[in-house]
Amino acid sequence: MPEANACPYSECLFDENAALLERTAALLEDLEPDAYATVDARCLGGSIGGHTRHCVEFYQCFLAGLESGRIDYDARARDVRIENEVAHAVAALRHIAEEIRDASARQDTMHLLRVIENHTGSDTDWSATSVGRELRFLLSHTVHHCALIAILLRLRGRTVPEGFGTAPSTLRHRAAQKASSSCAA
């Protein structure tokens, strides 16, 4: 039986996504512009800004898809301001976190979605999906890119908060293991 204070499952997915975006914004807000936008050859030519833009635009595609019923993650704007200007990126992350929380309040009016897998122009290019499935995907996808951001920050000698770039389920598992081992002691 779930805990009395546990949030409904899909609501937790909205909250976890919004919280991850807010943590990312908080981590980046004091970063120097050069450190944010500089490409690092040690990480396959990626930059903190590039990873951030990529994630922001996936959420933008998701939110647009909530309105249209069709999500096309390839239809990203590829906004160089998000990639190169840390203040612009932080504002975008916070705005999307707010939109995700607002969408949570409307979740009972949301319908099944379709996500595009191919671009042949056929209706068979689109697969059925759900808001929950896409939120799971976005969370996993963003955590992966946050892990890469954490590596880039550490390569620059920066301290990264414990758990940043780690999946929420892994953090919960570690906490449970720690609690279990402290009880056994």
Nearest-angstrom CA–CA distance, 146 and 133: 20
pLDDT, residue 109, reads 67
Is-contact 141 85, C-beta < 8 A? no
Write down the H helix ranges in the chain.
9-28, 33-37, 48-68, 80-84, 86-105, 131-155, 168-184
What's the start-to-end Cα distance of the chain, in Å? Answer: 28
> Mind listing the pLDDT tens digit of every residue in the chain (185 residues)?
344 444 555 778 999 999 999 999 999 999 999 999 999 988 888 999 999 999 999 999 999 999 889 999 999 999 999 999 999 999 999 999 999 999 988 876 677 678 888 788 777 788 999 999 999 999 999 999 999 999 999 999 999 999 999 998 898 898 999 888 877 66
Rounded-to-integer distance, Cα 83 and Cα 87, Å: 10
Level-2 CATH architecture, domain 9-184:
Up-down Bundle (1.20)
Distances (CA, A) of 147 to 24, 72, 104: 11, 24, 26
Q: In this predicted model, what pLDDT tens digit does every residue of 34-74 receive, in sequence order? A: 999 999 988 888 999 999 999 999 999 999 999 889 999 99
For 141-154, how does the pLDDT look when each residue is reduced to its tens digit (9 = 90+)? Answer: 999 999 999 999 99
